[in-house]
Structure formats: structure tokens, C-alpha cells
A and B are shown apart, each in its own frame.
Chain A
């Protein structure tokens, strides 16, 4: 059974960079039939897609966050990572990693497995 687990600091200072990692187990991160994505949910707000990456390293980002986001993958460690720069209080959220169904170039099929989520607070 596929499992995803987020890890990273729970507190980040304003203007600094947020780093999170998602470890994938119970399945292959090098699968050709999916991407790997990051989604967040700020307190009392809805879900927001951050971006997704294919095992080859090909990425797609939310246009509103693209200038600050980098997603990378390390297939040897079965993990993928999120880097969000110049954070502000508006970046405070629960961050989820998830498997994004779909063959290469097809990101329309949704997210079928999710990590439990990790709360990141931006504050000094």
C-alpha cells in the first residue's frame, strides 16, 4: 500500500525559505503513470495546488507561486521535495504531498494518495 510522509520544520521565519520532503514507500516513485505533487491548505481556507513533478524531473507549477517554488525529485531516495522562498504569513498552511495520477503530460486525473500533512507556520 502506497504511503507518503511529509517532513520538515514546523516554523519558518518571514523572508526565509521553506523546505519540505516527502518520502514515498510501498510503491515506486519512478512510476511512469503518475506525477508527485504538493498541495497546501491555509487555516480556514481551501486547498491550493502548489506544483507537481514527474520522476524524470519535469515540473508543473501553480502560476501564482511559480516565481518562488522549486520541486525536485531524488529517485534513489524515493523522495521529492518542495522549496518555497521568501515566505510570508500568507504561506502558513498545512502542506500535503500526494500522488498525482496520470501518464507523462496528463495531469488531469487527480490525487489518489495523500500524506497526513504537516503544519508550517511562518512567524518570527
Chain B
């Protein structure tokens, strides 16, 4: 059970917009940067968003990130069938007993 909570799945039609949420706490999202990763079937994860809202070069502006308090959101507009993938949030977690990098459980996006 991850300390970051994501919905297991989400679906939307081509051309539509979808949001994927990542819920944490003050020991992780609330006080550290969030990054988002896309894992297409059979490939390595790819960084989509870093430092809450920044896009690496080459990532289209259809992908966006935001954060409010202890929750973060990935937005994808103009959905394409090629966006079907698993999406993971991640951040540094610093609790009283331990610290380390944590990933959310992942959200499977289906483009209908």
C-alpha cells in the first residue's frame, strides 16, 4: 500500500481531457516536489512533469501538472490513443521514522 493514493483506472474518449490525481500528506506532497511518469506498454517509464508543473523538453503542452496542499494532479488534453499507458506520481517522503522516494500505485488510462 503506497503512501501516495491514485485511482486505479480512468478512461476518456479521444480528443477529451482527463485528470489523474495523486493524494498524499504533509510529509510528502505537501512539502516536496511532485513528478509524473508515463509508462507505455513494454517500455521504460518516461518523465512527463517535474517540480510539480514543469515539462521536460519534448513533452507536449497537452500534459500539465499542478499541486494544491497535499494533492497533485496530472492533466492531459486532446487525448490520443497513444496516450494509453500507466501514469505514476512520485515524490520524496520524510516522516518521523524514515525517508525515501515514493511512487503512487499508478493509474491506468484507457482512451476509448
Contacts and interface: CB of A to CB of B under 8 A. Distances in A.
B33 A111 contact: no
A48 B103 contact: yes
Interface residues of B, number: 28
Contacts, number: 69
B47 A63 contact: no
Of all A-B residue pairs in the complex, the 4 with the closest CB atoms, nearest first, are A110-B35, A63-B98, A49-B101, A108-B92
Given A60-B99, A110-B51, A114-B44, 6 more contacts: A47-B45, A47-B88, A47-B106, A62-B100, A110-B50, A112-B56
Nearest to B49: A110
A100 to B, nearest CB: 8
A46 B104 contact: yes
A52 B101 contact: yes
Contacts of B47: 110-113
Interface of B: 2, 32-33, 35, 37, 39, 43-47, 50-51, 56, 88, 90-92, 97-106
Contacts of A111: 35, 37, 45, 47, 90
Dominant secondary structure of chain A at its interface with chain B = strand
B50 A109 contact: yes
Interface residues of A, number: 25
17 contacts: A46-B103, A46-B105, A47-B39, A47-B45, A49-B90, A101-B50, A108-B33, A108-B91, A108-B92, A111-B45, A112-B50, A112-B56, A114-B44, A114-B45, A115-B44, A116-B43, A116-B44
Nearest to B34: A110
Interface of A: 37, 39, 46-49, 52, 60-63, 96, 100-101, 107-117
B44 A117 contact: yes
Please indicate which of the listed interface residues B39, B92, B99, B100 has the most CB atoms of chain A within 10 Å of its own CB: B100
A114 to B, nearest CB: 4
A46 B44 contact: no
A83 B97 CA distance: 24
A48 to B, nearest CB: 7
A107 B35 CA distance: 12
